[in-house]
Amino acid sequence: MSFTVEVKESDGLRSLHFGSAWMQGAMRIDHPFELAFEYTRVMMAALLLRDGDFPETVLQIGLGAGSQTKFLYRHRPAAHLTVVEIEPKVVTVARESFCLPEDAARLEVVVGDGVEFVHRTGQRYDLIMVDGFNDHSHPGDLNTFPFYKACREKLTEQGILAVNLIGLSDGVKGGFAFIESAFEQRAVRFPRCASGNTIAFAATGARVDISLEALQERAAKEDSGLALSLMLDRLATLPGCEQGRLRI
């Protein structure tokens, strides 16, 4: 796969584009380690689903502008991060234009196919984040049952999967049905973001069973600019959350 990689700037926002008007990532120039998009903050709700120093190991599929990588690098300093990006030009641009850290001890960037990496790796991860798209904003083989099943097999006993399912319409499961099947129904879709992105989470091992009030408290304690209060308030509308608890 090869395509045009462009960097644009407007009103203090530097954005990454794959030869189209669609943003594939962005950074506020004055605050390079903050998360500029709502959906990236919602994906970080994965950090609230487990206790303690979670996660210790992270696999990210899709680098983009490196926003989520940089957030984890700053706010989870004990975690080891592995990022798989299929397009080498994206890695170069992330380092040159989006402040991606150079730290071989904590951050490993692999140029390769994310599907192949997950199937072949012998490592297991506490958190797997999937946010990879081609120049047509399509996830391709990332959004399949075999891929999500492989992700489940590569998670630890405290494992969480977080997936950006862009473009899901209200009431349409789309690729979320694959996630549900691969994780034996231990999955949940958060309410759709204003941008149209829908974030899904799935769990392995110990059950996630937490009150929505406790989620709000954990989010407030993060002290990392996640700004998840409004999204977490909307969880009460999800099937299964009517009693004020999130269970997966």
The rounded distance, in Å, linking the Cα atoms of 129 and 77 is: 17
- Residue 78's CB: how many other CB atoms inside 10 A? 8
Is there a domain that residue 144 lies in? yes
Is there a domain that residue 15 lies in? no
Annotated active-site residue 131? The verdict is yes
Catalytic residue among 51, 53, 113, 131: 131
Angle at 161 between CA 173 and CA 138, to 5 degrees: 50
Q: Which residues 6+ apart lie within 8 Å of 63 measured at CB? A: 69, 83, 84, 85, 90, 91, 94, 100, 109
Number of domains, the chain:
1
Structure tokens at 219: 């989010």
Is there a domain that residue 58 lies in? yes
The confidence score (pLDDT) of residue 168 equals 56
Domain that holds residue 204: 36-247
Distances (CA, A) of 243 to 48, 75, 213, 233: 19, 31, 11, 13
Is there a domain that residue 7 lies in? no
User: Taking a C-beta distance cutoff of 8 angstroms, is the pair 172, 183 a contact?
Assistant: no
Is there a domain that residue 21 lies in? no
131-181 pLDDT, tens digit per residue, is 986 444 555 678 899 999 999 999 999 999 999 997 655 555 678 999 999
Is there a domain that residue 98 lies in? yes
20-62 pLDDT, tens digit per residue, is 777 888 999 999 999 999 999 999 999 999 998 899 999 999 9
Q: What is the dihedral of CA 36, 42, 47, 50, to 10 degrees?
A: 170
Confidence of residue 97 (pLDDT cuts 50, 70, 90): very high
Average pLDDT, the chain: 90
Lowest-pLDDT choice from 19-28, 87-96, 182-191: 19-28
Q: Which residues 6+ apart lie within 8 Å of 12 measured at CB? A: 28, 29, 30
Residues forming a β-bridge with 85: 111
The confidence score (pLDDT) of residue 135 equals 45
Given CA atoms 148, 207, 154, 70 in this order, what sign does their dihedral have? positive
Is there a domain that residue 31 lies in? no
Establish how many alpha carbons lie within 13 A of residue 137's alpha carbon, considering only the half-sphere containing its beta carbon.
16
Distances (CA, A) of 184 to 114, 160, 246, 248: 23, 14, 16, 10
The rounded distance, in Å, linking the Cα atoms of 231 and 220 is: 13
Is there a domain that residue 24 lies in? no
CATH number at residue 170: 3.40.50.150
Helices vs strands, H then E, count in the chain: 8, 12
pTM of the predicted protein model: 0.92
